[in-house]
Structure 1
Amino acid sequence: MNGIEYDGWVPSHVREYLKELGYRLPLEDMEPHILEWDEWMSATGDFYNYHDVDSFGRVYQVHRRSIKPAMRVCREWGSLLLNEQTRVVCEDQACTDWLDGFFSNTGFMGQAQANIARAFGLGTGAFALFFDIGRRKIKIRHFDARMVVPLTWDAEGVTECAFVTRAYYKGKPVDQLQMHVIGEHAAPSHSEPSEPFTMENGEGEIIVNDIGTSMRLDEGKSYHVITASFDEDGNLMEPEGVISDYDTGSPFPTFAIIKPAIPNTRVEASPYGQSVFADAIDAVQSVDLAFDALVNEVSAGKMRIFLSDVMFDHDKNNGKNTPIPFGKGDCTIFRKVMSTEDVVQEFAPALRTSSQAETFRIALQMLGDLCGFGLTYYDFDSSGYVKTATEVSSDNSALMRNIRKHENALTRSLATISHALLWCARGFGEPLPDEGVVTVQYDDSIVTDTSAEKAQDMAEVAAGLMGVYEYRMRWYSEDEATARKRAGELSRPVAGSDGSEDNSARLDASAHRGTMWQRCVELYSKNTAIAALQSACLRAAARTTRGLTLRMKNSYYPWLSTPTTTPGT
């Protein structure tokens, strides 16, 4: 494969260059599998296009129809895991706001969603920082497995990596190799290392999130981006304006690998991942076989009309008596040779679409189950179409478990690239503080009832069981200081100088609960589905706010027969 015949794979001269530098290329072991997965995603290869021989020895080409099930699986995972509502959240609100603006202005989430789809199909993908030194801008480039070459890795992950792309310089193709490697760095750090962040989950377990420190290099080390360019003949060249060795100054990896959270059973100890449908190839085939059979059934089941010879005109030119055909050229009208009886005869075979559709349905169910969606994800409903992600119920436990598993793996990648992005942005003059711990807030409204969860939290706010700032922290991804400020609680202290809880803050909050729960109840009073919850909120608020009398009209709150009064003490 030379520089001109570039089709997304690493050219041979780039491979030789890396080998001369002493690197062993793990791509060569995984390349046959990646190539196979790429063919299934594009519905090409011997299964879809092949040659057959009839009884007379004639060879003809056959094309099998496809709905591209492998590609659909990958796109579905991309849409389930990432969308425009996904947010990368830092401990410091200023860094969170800056990341929101960067991702929005660059369209990162949309591109990342497509990148995840490719990564889940080919087993591996990557984000990598791209630096425009002259304009002092940073971009995030996206790569799939064909362009990713890990250079240094262990069981913890990839620490050095190379990326190969095609560019054009003065109208001529150039193969560009960029290696993100660890080098010496003597410049002072932008900030001190973040302390590991601990939190307690609902089961009392302590979770230590040390992504801010575990991925960081030792003092004096930083990531360098080494660039090598090759002309169309595979010779090294130095395009104008390209820095061969750029010290980013970042102690965090300036790239992040994306892989499905499934083990690679094809090549042991490989830094590459495995396709999400690698173990479902037979199911992919069964889906397209059933679909192709369904189309063939309809095509072969069309009505056929047989006409007698007397129905055909004859052309006697050139001394020949040739019947003149008529009708569409799709083999629906046939000529009965040497026949004068039954001038017009119809034949309409019975269709087996019901049994074909049931076969197609079973094939889709097996595909969904083997690819981690559960048996009910790809299914026909009563209207006869395949269910979309927005129609998936939240009780699909198999899907939810796999979503959480993939989200955990994706969080590490997004946090890593965000750490490096923020660090390098400071180097370009952005006045950003230390981001601290970086987490990812995913949009699970596709598979869970987020509106119901918000309603429940609002009811708890109304009852005084949750603070307004806590609500904003959960649903608006704000840090505590920002949430308290925007909730109007910044001026009310929450703790004494000695760390003890300030009772004045609790009393102040109690005085405002009446207004909070009244607004909550008014918002949801017309929804009969949560009438019981509203009633519970009112009773809880009455118990919490002592001496508060709830005066409500029965006509407006039909679930209450009389106003509720809580006696004071």
Structure 2
Amino acid sequence: MGAIQTYLQKKRKFGGVSDATYNHIDEWLAWYQNSVRKFHIYWIYDGIQSKKCERYKLGMAKKVCEDWANLLLNEKVAIKAGTFDKRLKEILEINNFHVRANQLIEIAYALGTGALVEYRDAADQPIIDYIRANMIYPLSWDNGDITECAFGSVRAVDEKERIYLQIHRKGIPGDGENPNLYYIENKYLDSETGDEVALPEDIEGIVATGYDRPLFQIITPNICNNVDLDSPMGISVFANAIDQVKGCDLVYDSYMNEYVLGRKRILVPYSQAKILAEQDGTRQPVFDPNDSVYFALPGDRQDDMKLTEVDMSIRAADHEQGLNKALDLMSLKCGMGTGRYKFESGGVKTATEVISDKSDLYQNLQKNKTPVKAALVAMVKALAFLETGADQLEVNVDFDDSIIEDTNTTVDRNIKLVQGGLRSKLTAIMEINKCSEAEAKKELERIAEDGQITGQDIDWTQGDEEKEDHEDNLEPDEEDEEAEA
């Protein structure tokens, strides 16, 4: 995408991040794709010639990013937007949000940066684009927050490859634009020369959003970029764990080679491996030369005429111990603590038990929820603005906390707190149902209308005073019947 950087720097006089940042992104992408040529391809000299070998790979760089995406944005995450909630669900479904957003988190944690971009298409429908790091080109930023940005993608137009460039910027007063509002420039570039070409007829050159906030949200892992301290771009979650990812592959490669090199072999004296003539004149070898079990000894080894079995032992236990140590180190460096992964039964297993709130994984998970939540809230408000022209609404994002605490445990705790007078019923319903205060009030009203605040539920649904009044109004016989019940 060098054509985009050239265009932005020379044609539009925009600034940008250094090329070194994108070089690192290319390196992280190679590890994410599990194909790093300078590491996974190596040569071995066998005394006669050099042999090209490919290292066995465990692929933990991608696995870590998959797990972060599943922890942060899975199917249990609920986004509530009040009166806009119904239309929001429709928009998210049209844009395949729950699938694509999870994939965006994965690629953002692999490459360091991802972006959600909102706009209206030619059919006037709200669209969400999911952009990875090597397609993101910051133009200006303030205190690390990107305020203006360009997003590139490759498209085929009239059987020619074009670069579609969408520039989100503030208004330029000299061009008669409002400097406090955002505008979107649409550009098509020649993929080879970087020259600007004509736009398709259904795309406008400049679109005034009328919005004082950007119609994009940047998502990065909540860790400091120590590769380029001045860059507004994020850093891969495994950027500082490359050596540990290499260690996992090295041990796994050695482990697999134990089985390759440790196959049972039978050494055959050269005299017994000779080709013998049959009575009909055909010539047949005593042993099949393509058989990987039998190997002929050199011709000068004639003193031992017996078949010799070579059965090397496999150091499976030693390799599994070393691999589990390597996995622990890698997991720790990627923010997931130790014990997350374990190599057993021929593969890597992931721990699924409930974690402690003092563990490294819990603390890092809570930390990484912050930028994701901010991005989702801003995205919902941007979609509401595109639909209604206003973004004044309450947005709640409830993440999946089942890894920390079981849902039944949450319900039981709230029941005990309400019974003990230490929590209101309204707060309890908000936590259990993961809803807003207004929705919790409606739920309480529905409970009252359904007549569920009676009998055995009185301790949970009524206060102590209501309970006493209820008991005072009972006749003696009714008191005995209720006591028996």
Taking the aligned partners of 2:45 and 2:269, their CA distance within structure 1 comes to 33
AA matched with 2:338 = L
1:89 to 2:80 alignment: yes
Matches within 5 A, 1:132-143: 132-133=121-122, 135-143=123-131
**How do 1:30-179 residues align onto structure 2 when only pairs under 5 Å count?**
30-45=21-36, 46-56=38-48, 58-90=49-81, 93-133=82-122, 135-179=123-167
Residue type at the aligned position of 2:8: L
Superposition map of 1:50-449 within 5 A: 50-56=42-48, 58-90=49-81, 93-133=82-122, 135-183=123-171, 221-234=180-193, 235-238=195-198, 239-309=200-270, 311-312=272-273, 314=275, 323=285, 325-326=287-288, 329=291, 331-338=292-299, 339=302, 343-380=306-343, 386-388=348-350, 390-395=352-357, 397-427=359-389, 434-449=391-406
**Which residue matches 2:468?**
546
Check the 8 A contact 2:418/2:460 in 1, yes or no: no
| Change beyond 3 A, Cα 1:79–1:122 | same
Q: Which moved more, 1:227-236 or 1:140-149?
A: 227-236
Contact 1:469 1:484 in 2 (8 A): yes
CA distance in 1, matches of 2:306, 2:465: 91
Query: Aligned with 2:226: secondary structure?
Result: coil
How far is 1:27 from its partner?
A: 4.5
Distance in 2 (alpha carbons) for counterparts of 1:223 and 1:542: 56
Match of 1:15 in 2: 5
Q: Following the alignment from structure 1 to structure 2, what is the Cα–Cα distance between the partners of residues 183 and 131? A: 19
Change (3 A) 1:380 1:295: closer
Specify the code of the residue in structure 1 equivalent to 2:183: H
Q: Does the 8 A contact of 2:137 with 2:150 survive in 1?
A: yes
Structure 1 pair 490/395, CA: closer, same or farther in 2 (3 Å)?
Answer: closer
CA contact (8 A) 2:25 2:133 kept: yes
The answer on whether the counterparts of 2:238 and 2:334 sit within 8 Å (CA) in structure 1 is yes
Alpha-carbon displacement from aligned partner over 1:224-272 (angstroms, at most 9, x marks no partner): 1101102344332222211111112222210011111110111121111
Say whether the 8 Å CA contact 2:272–2:286 is kept in structure 1.
no
For residue 224 of structure 1, what is the amino acid of its counterpart? Y
- Following superposition, the deviation at residue 183 of structure 1 comes to 1.9
Give the AA of the match of 2:402.
S
Deviation at residue 177 of structure 1 after TM alignment: 0.7
Paired positions, count: 464
Q: C-alpha distance in 2, partners of 1:42/1:97?
A: 38
**Residue 395 to residue 466, structure 1, CA distance change in 2 (3 Å):** closer
- Contact 1:253-1:417 at 8 Å conserved across structures: no
Q: Which of 444, 451, 454 is 2:408 aligned to? A: 451
In structure 1, the residue corresponding to 2:341 is in which secondary structure? coil
Pairwise mapping of residues 487-526 of structure 1 onto structure 2 (< 5 A)?
487-488=444-445, 512=453, 514-516=455-457
Partner amino acid, structure 2, of 1:546: E
After superposition, the C-alpha distances for 1:505-539 in whole angstroms (9 at most, x for unaligned) are: xxxx9x9364535899xxxxxxxxxxxxxxxxxxx
Percent of aligned pairs sharing the same letter: 28
250 and 271 in structure 1: CA distance in 2 versus 1, 3 angstrom threshold? same
Worse-matched range after superposition: 246-255 or 387-396: 387-396
Deviation of 1:421 after TM superposition, in Å, equals 1.4
For 2:289 and 2:384, locate their aligned partners in 1 and report how far apart those are by CA, in whole Å. 69
**CA distance 1:395–1:54, shift in 2 (3 Å):** same
Q: Given the superposition, is the C-alpha separation of residues 444 and 274 from structure 1 closer, same or farther in structure 2, using an over 3 Å criterion?
A: same
Indicate conservation of the 8 Å contact 1:125/1:259, yes or no. Answer: yes
Note if contact 2:120-2:386 (Cα within 8 Å) is conserved in structure 1: no
Distance 1:363 1:260 in 2: 23
Residues 1:421 and 1:266: Cα distance change in structure 2 (over 3 Å) = same
Provide the rounded CA distance (Å) in 2 between the counterparts of 1:123 and 1:274. Answer: 4
What TM-score does the superposition give when structure 2 sets the normalisation length? 0.85
Q: Partner of 1:100: helix, strand, or coil?
A: helix
Secondary structure in 1 matching 2:252:
helix
Give the aligned residue type for 2:3: H
Superposed CA RMSD? 3.4
Asked if the contact 2:320–2:343 (Cα under 8 Å) also holds between the matched residues in 1, the reply is: no
The answer to which structure has the higher helix fraction is 2
Query: Structure 1 length as normaliser, TM-score?
Result: 0.73
Give yes or no for contact 2:357–2:363 (8 Å, CA) kept in 1.
no
CA contact (8 A) 1:377 1:392 kept: no
How has the CA–CA distance of structure 1 residues 130 and 387 changed in structure 2, closer, same or farther, with 3 Å as cutoff? same
Over 3 Å counting, the alpha-carbon distance change for 1:219 and 1:400 in structure 2 is farther
Aligned-partner Cα distance in 1 for 2:405–2:294: 55
For residue 187 of structure 2, give the secondary structure of its aligned residue in structure 1.
strand
Structure 1: any 5+ residue segments left out of the alignment? 1-9, 186-217, 428-432, 493-508, 521-539, 550-562
Q: CA deviation at 1:446?
A: 2.8
Kindly indicate whether the alpha-carbon contact (under 8 Å) linking 2:170 and 2:181 is maintained by their aligned counterparts in 1. yes
CA contact (8 A) 1:53 1:59 kept: yes
CA drift at 1:469: 4.2
1:389–1:446 contact (8 Å) kept in structure 2: no
Structure 2 residue 448 is the aligned partner of structure 1 residue 486: no
Residue 514 of structure 1 contacts residue 541 of structure 1 at CA under 8 Å; is this kept in 2? Answer: no
| d(CA) in 2 for partners of 1:128, 1:161 | 10
Identify the range of structure 1 (94-103 vs 223-232) with the bigger mean alpha-carbon deviation: 94-103
Residues 87 and 100 of structure 1 are in contact (CA less than 8 Å); yes or no, is this contact kept in structure 2?
A: no
SS of the equivalent of 2:155 reads: strand
> The residue matched to 1:158 in structure 2 has which SS?
strand
SS at match of 2:352: helix
Post-superposition CA distance 1:435-455 (Å, at most 9, x none)? 434342111213432331123
Runs (5+) with no aligned partner, structure 2: 472-481
SS in structure 2 at match of 1:546: helix
Amino acid paired to 2:149? C
Displacement after TM superposition at 1:39 (Å): 1.5
Contact 1:513–1:545 (CA<8 Å) still a contact in 2?
Answer: no
Write the deviation string for residues 334-381 of structure 1: whole angstroms up to 9, x where unpaired: 123454855433221122111111000100011111111111212357
* CA distance in structure 2 between the aligned counterparts of 1:548 and 1:23, rounded to whole angstroms: 73
The 2-side partners of 1:366 and 1:422 are apart by 44
